[in-house]
Chains A and B, each alone.
Chain A
Amino acid sequence: MPGIYIHVPFCASKCPYCDFYSVADRGRIDNYISAVIDELATLRRVGPLAGDLKHRAIATVYFGGGTPSFVGAENLSRLLLAVKDNFNVPSGAEITAECNPSSSLAPGFFETLAAAGFNRVSLGMQSAVDAERKKLGRKATAVDVETAVKACQSAGITDISLDIMLGVPEQTERSLLSSQDFALSLGVTHLSAYMLSIEEGTFFDKKRDALNLPEEDAVCDMYLSLCEYLKNNGFRHYEISNFCLPGHEARHNTAYWRDEEYLGIGPAAHSYLNGRRFYFPRDLDAFISGMPPVDDGPGGGPEEAVMLALRLDTGISLQEIKEKFAVAPSPGLPAILQKYQSAGLLTFDGDRIALTEKGFLVSNALIGDVISAMDGNR
């Protein structure tokens, strides 16, 4: 079952580390909402690429950004209504909105979302230490985060995810610990913990040398101690950067890692449907004026499947890959895997390969090696 992603490209201001597409212009919100609703009704721009999507059940709907909460609960509800009007969204579907604590403090915000059918909220906390949050350009305080979580829970949306960032300026293991404690004390069911990566063109990229970032080794230690801490508190580490209480995985995101299909609408939103990948350009005006998406080549294939699935704690089964894609891993692969296993980077039972936490930290290299070993025998 495919998922639907709606990119809401508005933010109150640009965070210095972020390279997602967003604008700070309230004036264009109405036109944007109409354009999305129009697209959902007609699939005019996505056109034949969408295939028989209208008849398939939609497993998940995800509003990401930008800052979806910035456009207000009513607008988000209108968009979700349009999704439901035009697609087959069964009652058990996961429906998520990313929210910023400061733009979701309006009275009744979460009640409106809940009434429209939203059942999951992802809140951008980043850190519970206000000094760190400030460096990250986050306006809300830890108290605001707490208020938002409580409001969300009392509105009946209890599947809540918080974001934590690792390796941010001034961070220490001790300050990270206080962020972890704070998050767990709020009773959330899901955590995403991202190691900061400095993206080209961002403010952090330009100021890199002045940032006082923790050393790479320190960041790795933070990551491992966070994994340990969350495990001890009953969380499952199900993807490189994602943790949840049992049964509370982000189903929408998990579908990406299982290489399943999705339709993305909005500027800078990517889609993968009927074997093709395509995306809308990073340009709000072009989106509003009806510019069609750009082709991004074929999706699928063994490389993609391996690259994505190895991000998950469930890993990949060589047998499944073999059956699904008719590729045989090179005879040398088991020896390589056993070497990595003895170095504690992965587990390999003869069929299933899954990376360990130490392995997640060097996953680019490990994934590259596994894929090269598949390549050998195509």
Chain B
Amino acid sequence: MRQKKEHIRNFSIIAHIDHGKSTLADRLLELTDSVAKRDMQQQLLDNMELEKERGITIKARAVTLDYKAHDGNTYELNLIDTPGHVDFNYEVSRSLAACDGAILIVDATQGVEAQTLANTYLALEHDLELVPVINKIDLPAADPDRVCADVEEIIGLDCEDAPRISAKTGQNVEAVLEKIVRDIPCPEGDDDAPFKALVFDSVYDNYKGVIVYVRVMDGTLRSGDTMKMMATGATFTVVEVGHMRAMSLENTGVLKAGEVGYITASIKSVSEARVGDTVTKVGNEAAEPLPGYKKVNPMVFCGLYPADGADYEALKEALEKLQLNDAALSFEPETSGALGFGFRCGFLGLLHLEIIQERLEREYDLDLVSTVPSVVYKIHLSDGRVVEIDNPTNYPDPAIIDYVEEPMADAHIYSPPEYIGVIMALCQDRRGTLKDQQYISSDRVDIHYKLPLNEIIYDFFDALKSRTRGYASFDYELCGYERSNLVKLDVLLNGDLIDALSYIIHSEKAYPRARKIAEKLKDNIPRQMFEIPVQIAIGGKVIARETIKAMRKDVLAKCYGGDITRKKKLLEKQKEGKKRMRQFGTVEVPQEAFMAILKLDDQT
């Protein structure tokens, strides 16, 4: 029988960046005594070092809080955090699907901002009840009345009794908890129905194997039951089920309809318990999985090579470990004439790529060189065969190519109407085709474009943000392949072809792009002992060239008794610097040069 689970609330917190999401989360943990004061690190939910630095959440987290409300009842509050970047849009949507409501934080000094709106629309798509909260009222510039009016007008949310708080000082935060209990609907479900739970996150743990984070829709699951992943059909014996506490997992032995919790079942890799999949129970199996499952496939590929060839095995092990925790990361061995042995890796997008690369460098202490990212092209050869390539190096001789197809993306850009012009200019520049344009409200327009994927993977999101001062949001999905007029650009340094820098591009853009690549290489490759010609070619034809002048002065004028140790240290440093360079024939190229040519559209 379907029941209301009166004492459970499942919610997330959404906000524009820096409006205080993590601080409020910390305060809620404290108020519900989930964490002892002395264990309170700032911003407990973002527990990857990288997340703290970038100020964005990469992986979702969840935590269960017990709150004794003013009505005398104790409530189980499940706070589900969401990642904050378009690369992880799918994960965001699954996290929101696990909730019944969301707290919308608005900064009392700033009001409604781009992501406030973008996240609001996302939450409304999932039918979430929104609870507005006005934060940072302790600041002198706070104007809660104006901001409330703002929210009412722009978003259409009643702010009359929106809690006005300071997450930083803790002022009035209790009111947020009361609001959650009062305004967010409780989940409903049938404890006896076939078991159905949505996977909204999964992480790998060295001791327990994969920890699957779920929202139970119906049914009951106990330790010892046999569970089944509906997308893959894989079955596992449940070891633990329970709640996520702030500092540890609490094994309760049972999870029931409406609850948010975790399951462990000696699962070896997160690819066996992917986000969006449905968990059911063997013996009381659900007929249908929950809607919305997508296997997230990598869309952007690049080669990752150890700067020092001896680190190949270490890189392989590091990638294997990261993959245990990241179902969207793929890799396989490849070899490059310029870079030696490495791996072809697949990512969701450029941010995902950068994050993985940074984690490899920091957490595994590896020096890496990456090649230019690419999408997967379908090459139709004159003999009728079709080859798929994700590495420009493998681009066949144009003479045997009949035609080429490139992947297309169906993109929605949401923006205030005043930016329609610049957005269209950007999309036009990126070879987009306008499909449709619709006003969602008087100040929100949905611009629907079809864009080649290779035009958006590198820096489209950044360009969009900078041109719309952060007010536009962007979402895309793949929509098949289309025939296109593409060419391969080759980079030659000092006459040697650098395969790792080859680049596939639409022929109309080849010339300007070639000139920019040549300039960027010139600016990013340090002067060396000889003059180095930089040439960009299509086939055998050079279409752009620059020259890196020879180094003129690099000398220590004074070197006497007291300078020798210092000079030796300088030499050591010089050697370290060289480690970050790759030797291409006679030319040394720093890692930065590889990254720089990816970001050609910086507003330089």
Interface on A for B, CB 8 Å cutoff? 5, 64, 194-197, 216-217, 219-220, 240-241, 253, 256-257, 262, 264, 268-272, 277, 279, 296-297, 299, 303-304, 307-308, 311, 339-340, 343, 345, 360-368, 371-372
CB-CB nearest in chain A for B558:
A194
Known interface pairs A307-B571, A343-B529, A365-B529. Does A220 touch B578 (Cβ–Cβ under 8 Å)? no
The answer to whether B554 and A365 touch across the interface, beta carbons within 8 angstroms, is: yes
Q: Is B564 an interface residue (CB 8 A)?
A: yes
**Could you tell me the distance in whole angstroms from the C-beta of A252 to the nearest C-beta in chain B?**
9
- B556 vs chain A, min Cβ distance (A): 6
Cβ of A368: which chain B residues have Cβ within 8 Å of it? 571, 574-575, 578
Which of A5, A195, A217, A303 contacts B561 (CB under 8 A)?
A5
- Can you offer 14 A-B residue contacts whose CB atoms are under 8 A? A194-B558, A240-B559, A241-B558, A257-B559, A264-B561, A279-B562, A296-B565, A307-B567, A345-B529, A362-B551, A362-B552, A363-B554, A364-B574, A368-B571
Chain B residue at minimal CB-CB distance from A271? B561
A256 touches B558 (CB 8 A): no
Q: Which A residues lie within 8 Å of B528 (CB)?
A: 365
Asked if A270 and B565 sit within 8 Å, CB to CB, the answer is: yes
Question: Are A194 and B571 in contact (CB-based, < 8 A)?
Answer: no
Q: A269 — which chain B residues lie within 8 A by C-beta?
A: 561-562
Within 8 A of A (CB), among B545-571: 550-562, 564-565, 567-568, 570-571
Residue of A nearest to B526 (CB): A365
| A194 CA / B557 CA spacing, docked (Å) | 6
Contacts of B575 in A (CB 8 A): 368, 372
Q: Are the C-beta atoms of A362 and B553 separated by less than 8 Å?
A: yes
Separation of A279 and B574 alpha carbons in the complex (Å): 24
A366 to B554, CA, bound (A): 9
- Most chain B CB neighbours (cut-off 10 Å) among A64, A361, A365, A371: A365
**Hey, which chain B residues are within 8 Å of A194, CB to CB?**
557-558
A-B interface contact total, Cβ < 8 Å:
99
A364 to B554, CA, bound (A): 6
Q: What residues on B are CB-neighbors of A362 within 8 Å? A: 529, 551-555
Chain A nearest CB, measured from B511 CB (Å)? 32
Closest-CB distance, A127 to chain B (whole angstroms) = 15
The docked-state distance in angstroms from the alpha carbon of A343 to that of B557 is 22
Asked if B530 is at the interface of the complex by the 8 Å CB criterion, the answer is: yes
Shortest C-beta distance, B573 to chain A (Å), equals 10
B300 to chain A, nearest CB (A): 36
A277–B568 CA distance with the chains assembled, in angstroms: 12
Q: A220-B552, A272-B564 are in contact. Are A371 and B557 (CB under 8 A)?
A: no
Across-interface contacts of B555 in A (CB, < 8 A): 195, 240, 360-364
Range of interface residues on B (Cβ < 8 Å): 20 to 34
Residues of B within 8 A of A220 (CB): 552-553
Given contacts A269-B561, A304-B564, 14 further A-B contacts (CB under 8 A): A195-B555, A256-B560, A264-B562, A269-B562, A303-B568, A303-B571, A308-B564, A361-B552, A363-B554, A363-B556, A364-B556, A364-B574, A365-B529, A368-B575
Complex: A368 Cα to B571 Cα, angstroms: 6
User: Which residue of chain B has its CB nearest to the CB of A193?
Assistant: B557
**Is the pair A361, B561 in contact by a Cβ cutoff of 8 Å?**
no
Chain B 246-261: CB-based contact to A (< 8 A → 1; otherwise 0): 0000000000000000
Task: Out of A256, A268, A343, name the residue touching B559 (CB < 8 Å).
Answer: A256
Complex Cα distance, B571 from A366, in Å, reads 11
A365 and B551 contact, CB distance less than 8 A = yes
Q: Which residue of B lies closest to A199 (CB)?
A: B558
Binary contact track B34-78/A, C-beta < 8 Å → 1, others 0: 000000000000000000000000000000000000000000000
Contacting residue for A270 out of B550, B557, B562, B578, CB 8 A: B562
Report the Cα distance A303→B571, complex, angstroms.
9
Contact of B564 among A256, A364, A366 (CB under 8 A): A256
Q: How far is the CA of A340 from the CA of B586 in the complex (A)?
A: 12
Whether A256 pairs with B556 at a CB distance below 8 angstroms is no
By a CB distance below 8 angstroms, the chain B residues around A307 are 567-568, 571
Nearest opposing residue in chain B for A369, CB measure: B529
CB–CB A340/B529 < 8 A? yes
Given A307-B567, A343-B529, A365-B529: A253 touches B560 (CB 8 Å cut-off)? yes
Chain A hits for B565, CB < 8 A = 270, 277, 296-297
Q: How far is the CB of A65 from chain B (nearest CB, A)?
A: 12
Closest to B528 in A: A365
Q: Is the CB of B553 within 8 A of A219?
A: yes
Q: Residue on A with the closest CB to B567? A: A307
Contact B561 A256, beta carbon cutoff 8 Å: yes
A197–B558 Cα distance when bound, in Å, is 9
Q: Which residues of B contact A268 (CB under 8 A)?
A: 562
CB atoms of A270 and B553 under 8 A apart? no
Which of chain B's residues has its CB closest to A263's CB? B561
Q: How far is the CA of A369 from the CA of B299 in the complex (A)?
A: 41
Instruction: Name the A residues within 8 Å of B562 (CB-CB).
Output: 264, 268-270, 279
A368 to B567 Cα, complex, angstroms: 11
In the bound assembly, the distance between CA atoms of A343 and B556 in angstroms comes to: 21
A367 to chain B, nearest CB (A): 7
Known: A277-B565, A308-B564. A240 touches B557 (CB 8 A): yes
Give complex CA distance A292, B560 in Å: 22
Residues of B within 8 A of A364 (CB): 554-556, 570-571, 574
Closest residue of chain B to A311 (Cβ to Cβ) is B559
* Distance to closest chain A CB from B305 (angstroms): 20
Contacting residues, chain B, for A371 (C-beta < 8 A): 571
Counting chain B CB atoms within 10 Å of each CB, the highest count among A197, A361, A362 belongs to A362
Chain B residues whose CB sits within 8 angstroms of the CB of A311 once the complex forms: 559
Residue of B nearest to A5 (CB): B561
Asked if A270 and B564 make an inter-chain contact with CB atoms under 8 angstroms apart, the answer reads: yes
The distance in angstroms between the C-alpha atoms of A64 and B530, with both chains bound, is 39
Q: Which residues of A contact B571 (CB under 8 A)?
A: 303, 307, 364, 367-368, 371
Which residues of chain A are within 8 angstroms of B529 by Cβ–Cβ distance? Answer: 340, 343, 345, 362, 365-366
CA distance A343 to B578 in the complex (A): 22
A306: nearest chain-B partner, CB-CB: B571
**Nearest 6 CB-CB pairings of A with B:** A270-B562, A364-B554, A194-B557, A195-B557, A368-B574, A362-B554
- CB-nearest residue of chain A to B530: A343
Tell me which of B528, B551, B558 has the highest count of chain A C-beta atoms within 10 A of its own C-beta.
B558
Among residues of A, the one whose C-beta sits closest to the C-beta of B574 is A368
**Best-surrounded residue of B529, B555, B570, B578 (most CB of chain A within 10 A):** B555
Instruction: Report the minimal beta-carbon distance from B308 to chain A, rounded to whole angstroms.
Output: 14
Residues of A within 8 A of B567 (CB): 307
In angstroms, Cα B552 to Cα A219, docked, is 10
A361: chain B residues within 8 A (beta carbon): 552-555
Instruction: Tell me the minimal C-beta distance from A332 to chain B in angstroms.
Output: 11
Q: Which residues of B contact A270 (CB under 8 A)?
A: 561-562, 564-565
List, in ascending order, chain A residues with CB within 8 A of B553's CB.
195, 216, 219-220, 361-362
Contact partners of B570 in chain A: CB under 8 A: 364
Query: In residues 567-590 of chain B, which contact A (Cβ within 8 Å)?
Result: 567-568, 570-571, 574-575, 578, 586
A241 touches B557 (CB 8 A): yes
Q: B564: which A residues are within 8 A, CB to CB?
A: 256, 270, 272, 277, 299, 304, 308
Which A residues touch B574, using CB under 8 A?
Answer: 364-365, 368
Q: List residues of chain A with CB within 8 A of the CB of B551.
A: 362, 365
Q: Which residue of A lies closest to B556 (CB)?
A: A364
Q: How many angstroms between the C-alpha atoms of A111 and B39 in the bound complex? A: 76
- Which residue of B552, B556, B560, B568 is within 8 Å of A217 (Cβ)? B552
Shortest B580–chain A CB gap in Å is 14
Q: What are the residues of chain B within 8 A of A253 when measuring CB–CB?
A: 560
**A371 CB, min distance to chain B CBs, angstroms:** 7
Bound CA–CA A371/B574 (angstroms)? 11
Query: Chain A nearest CB: distance from B448 CB in Å?
Result: 51
